[in-house]
Amino acid sequence: MKIAVIGLGFVGLVTATVLAGKGNSVTCIDTDERKIEKLKNGDLYIYEPGLDDIFEKNRGRMIFTSDYSLLKGSEIAFICVPTPTVNGKINLSYVRDSVFSVNSADRKATVAIKSTVVPGTASWLSFQIRKDISSNPEFLREGNAIEDTLCPERIVIGGKNAEEMEKISKVWEFTGSPVLKTTNENAELIKYASNAFLATKISFINEIANLCEIIPGADVATVAQGMGMDHRIGKDFLRAGIGFGGSCFPKDTMALVAYAEEKGIDMRIVKSTIEVNKARVKHAIRMIEEEVGDLRGKSICILGLSFKDNTNDLRESKSLELINELKAKGAKIRAYDPVIKELDGVEIVKRLEECDGMDCVVVASEWKEFETSPLYERAKKVIDLKKVVNLRVHPNVRAIGVYRGKD
């Protein structure tokens, strides 16, 4: 098929590459000319395990351009542009602009919105351009995006036009995944409800972690393990830490609350999820202060900068929030990250040994390589905020969600 992908960020680039890998010709459109130039030169600006390999093999079937007219003749255009929140509310201008541009370039192309949008968006835009628009929300996880696109747990397609919905379904047939066809509004809400629910699981286990820290013998990881053995609960998203960050959960939970509020509905659980999440970095700071005392002049090494492992995405990273708070309290920061090697305002070391002899090492992201390290034995204090360090190998490490009595 000839397919167009609009917006070449984490979702669009992965979608376009995987679809090219399945033999489709993909016109890849982004308004950011610098990104287009980079892609033409084979330079991927996102870190996503496995992406470079598929990209290299299939670049020949991909056209990179900022010129919408080149999508003419595409059977489907997938909209993958940002939907940020501004003052807590969703900004739909990128989605609107891209849908209008696709419509001007080729009115025959089926439009499928992958971006996360509030219920009613596809119907509103359908009315504006006098043409049905379908919803095909994206559920991929950064760091696991290729596998999630090749083999998603479900495909949700919303719309009014059965023929167009079938066409979208055909594109994803290779996945063999179950397909749920429904209204635009259901599809749009399934995405928000899913993200809000997962965020709630994280905030929930973080509150249990707080409790574990004052109960002798308690460890949140084991509590979560035991909970997760019940399939009604499930083991995923029950990892205690410094809270959720990234480009989705923070903005999507806020957008859902604001959307519901406009409709007169008070989303109390989602609001609490956001509140609990906001308190996590302060909690982490308290832990660090308990270990090293007054932070003024103290040297702190932060391990992990991105919002989670296996990505270079820094959006809403709790690690960066932590660094800013520590700096404000007078600490001197040095950071290490497996993939981020440069960042304005942060001294980043290339090798972990360069963090030897510091007052405290803080593990702020769950990269596998942080499970064990000789650094933990040589450091004065080590705090694991992501429950990643193997405490059997490093019993000297203080971990979030583990009882720590008085010394």
Ligand X SMILES: NC(=O)c1ccc[n+]([C@@H]2O[C@H](COP(=O)([O-])OP(=O)(O)OC[C@H]3O[C@@H](n4cnc5c(N)ncnc54)[C@H](O)[C@@H]3O)[C@@H](O)[C@H]2O)c1
Give the distance from CA 337 to its chain's centroid: 17
Which of 244/336 has CB closer to ligand X? 244
* Beta-ladder partners of 300: 333, 360
**Taking the complex as a whole, how short is the minimal distance between the CB of residue 98 and ligand X, in angstroms?**
4
Residue 80 a catalytic site member: no
Q: Which residue in 239, 232, 230, 234 sits closest to 204, CA to CA? A: 239
Residue 105 or 208: the one with the smaller Cβ distance to ligand X is 105
Of 28, 80, 212, 248, catalytic: 248
Residue with tokens 């990269």: 367
Which helix (H) or strand (E) segment holds residue 318: the answer is: helix 318-328
3-state SS assignment for residue 178:
coil
State in angstroms the smallest separation of the CB of 217 from ligand X: 37
Q: Are 137 and 116 in contact (CB under 8 A)?
A: yes
What's the min distance (Å) between Cβ of 79 and ligand X?
Answer: 8
Q: How many CA atoms lie within 13 A of 299 on its CB side?
A: 10
Where in 153-248 does DSSP place strands (E)? 155-158, 179-182
In angstroms, give the least distance from the CB of 272 to ligand X.
Answer: 22
Q: How far is the CB of 254 from ligand X (least distance, A)?
A: 12
Binding site for ligand X (CB under 6 A): 6-12, 29-32, 35, 80-83, 94, 97-98, 114-116, 138, 140, 142, 247-248
Q: Which is nearer to ligand X, 30 or 219 (by Cβ)?
A: 30
Taking the complex as a whole, how short is the minimal distance between the CB of residue 155 and ligand X, in angstroms? 13
Rounded to whole angstroms, the Cα distance separating 52 from 339 reads: 14
> Which residues of 137-228 form beta strands (DSSP E)?
155-158, 179-182
Q: What is the sign of the dihedral through the CA atoms of 217, 220, 222 and 227? A: positive
CA angle 93, 98, 103 (to 5 degrees): 125
When the beta carbons of 53 and 97 are compared against ligand X, the nearer one is 97
Q: Which is nearer to ligand X, 317 or 373 (CB)?
A: 317
Whichever of 86 and 328 has its CB closer to ligand X, that residue is 86
Distance set, CA 163 to CA 155, 317, 349 (Å): 16, 41, 54
* Cα-Cα-Cα-Cα dihedral sign, residues 83, 85, 86, 92: positive
Coil/strand/helix, residue 385: coil
CB of 228 to ligand X, least distance (A): 23
Nearest approach, Cβ of residue 118 and ligand X (Å): 11
Helices (runs of H) and strands (runs of E) counted in the chain: 14, 15
Cα–Cα distance measured from residue 377 to residue 399, given in angstroms and rounded to the nearest whole number: 15
CA distance 277 to 280: 5
Give just the sign of the alpha carbon dihedral 209, 213, 215, 218. positive
What are 32's two structure tokens?
A: 């950011």
Question: Of the two residues 120 and 329, which places its CB atom closer to ligand X in the complex?
Answer: 120
Give whichever of 32 and 290 is closer to ligand X, judged by the CB atom.
Answer: 32
Tokens of 52: 């470079």
Catalytic residues: 248
